[in-house]
Structure 1
Amino acid sequence: MHELPDTVAVDLVLLPPGPIMDMALSANRTLLAGNPGGGIRLDSENCIPHISVAMLPVRREVIPEIAAKVARIAGQCSPMTLTIDAVAKHRGGTGETVCVFHILRSEIIQLFHKAVMSAVEPYAAPGAGPEVFLGEASGPSVDCLNRFRKTSAYERYSPHITLGFGDLPELIPGLDFPVRFEVTGGAVCHLGAHCTCRRVLSGFELGARAAPARGRPGRR
């Protein structure tokens, strides 16, 4: 198991079901075919497609407490039906085009995001740098982590699944939007380069009121 630094860049995420994971992995492979040097190479173990809910740097020793709080919130929330309505594109911190599956911000995911953010914000550690990530991290990744509350939370929250660098067509053969799917759980993850989920630190289930947060050893 990789040893955690004293302060850890964590992402509290929802994990899409297998078919949506496969869609994201396929889209990522398409992007990499046109941009082999693209810095995001998704897979199901070490760079996991995900929907970020809250992102922040925290002290290593408080991660179990955070995981327990998020698990309790998740236990009071039923599985979520979410909808991907488009491939969206924006400029990343390095100026490259980033493609994502845009997810409609339903009331249930917005409420979950607000509850999780409110629960974990008091644990935020100040002044985090690249050392809090798993592996190397650029300045834009550090900035994204430290500024998540200001730029991406509450009224600015925009759920999505990051697919990678490059330019995907808005209409993908064999894929008809909207795509609806059900999310039943998520994880607390250690972030890597480009704010990718590199390692699962703890998992949780939606609606599992009596179930404690479950841990899983991570791998590089």
Structure 2
Amino acid sequence: MKKYFIAAAIAFGLLSCTTKEKNIIAVDVLLIPSEEMQAQAFQLNSLIYKNNPETIKLDENHVPHITLLQCFINESDLPKVNKALEGLFETIKEENFKAESLFYYEEKEESFSMIRVENSKALMEIHKKSIELLKPFIVANGSENSFVQNPDGSAISKSTVTYVPAFVLEHSYENFDPHISLGVADVSLLDSLAAHIFEPIEFKAASVSLYQLGDHGTAQKLLWTSE
């Protein structure tokens, strides 16, 4: 009987390790913009959030960012992924980026909005490099459990779960669309923000970081940063 319990304990331990090794997480390789650019994103988002309290609210758990790559990885590969990203920020820390416009669908009554960032040569190169560095670690079979869960217990949206594994194929290279997400609001408000609040400015990146994703592509849990 004693041997049975020992064998069972060993088997359970091995099972636990295997489960941990195969835990899949959804991650975002991203640029954190300068404080000036972040301040504008926070200002615009606060006005959008007042108009629509059901949209995203930028804060320390929903960081303003420019996505370079979204994908699923095995959590056990995280140390290797972090190592692979070392030095990436050095390649673009002196580059200037430009916030071009406040983008939204003007023909609708309500629209998702974002700060569109110029797709410069430097930004495209670091986007491509991010994919190249993480390609050995990308897996396809993540689920809603791969994300930071919603505080209210609601399910991660299906569109969020399906967007991540499609990022490289459908949203990269010639389809890469760099932006800072702001949320959904009435178009009448967005018209006013575009005319009176948004400023097209040049800015630098503060860091390259890796976050675990939350619902709707939000950067929620910091896993690694170049800072």
CA distance in 2, matches of 1:77, 1:183: 8
**Is the CA contact (8 Å cut-off) linking 2:99 and 2:117 kept in structure 1?**
yes
Q: Which shifted more, 61-70 or 103-112?
A: 61-70
- 1:11-30 to structure 2, matched below 5 A, reads 11-30=28-47
Matches within 5 A, 1:65-76: 65-76=80-91
**SS of the counterpart of 1:112?**
helix
- 1:165 aligns with 184
Counterpart code for 1:106: S
**SS in structure 2 at match of 1:134:** coil
**Residue in 2 that maps onto 1:50:** 65
Distance 1:154 1:131 in 2: 28
Mapped to 2, the partners of 1:144 and 1:90 lie a distance apart of 20
Q: CA RMSD in A?
A: 2.1
TM-score normalised to structure 1 length: 0.82
Residue identity matched to 2:216: H
CA contact (8 A) 2:25 2:73 kept: yes
Identity %, equivalent residues: 22
TM-score between both structures, scaled by the size of structure 2:
0.80
Q: In structure 2, list runs of 5 or more residues that go unmatched.
A: 1-19, 151-155
Q: Which residue of 2 aligns with 1:211?
A: none
CA–CA distance in 2 between the matches of 1:7 and 1:130? 10
Check if 1:120 corresponds to 2:134.
yes
Q: Any runs of at least 4 consecutive aligned residues in structure 1 with deviations exceeding 4 A, and if so which?
A: none
Query: Given residue 34 of structure 1, which amino acid in structure 2 is its aligned partner?
Result: N
Shift of residue 60 of structure 1?
Answer: 0.4
Q: How does 1:1-220 map to 2 (within 5 A)?
A: 6-38=23-55, 40-43=56-59, 45-89=60-104, 97-136=111-150, 137-166=156-185, 167=187, 168-169=190-191, 171-176=194-199, 178-205=200-227
Is the Cα contact below 8 Å between 1:79 and 1:184 reproduced in 2? no
Contact 2:22 2:76 in 1 (8 A): no
Structure with more of its chain in helix, by fraction: 2
* 2:28–2:210 Cα contact (<8 Å) kept: yes
Name the counterpart of 2:10: none
CA deviation map 1:108-143 (0-9, x unaligned): 010111111111122111221111000141100011
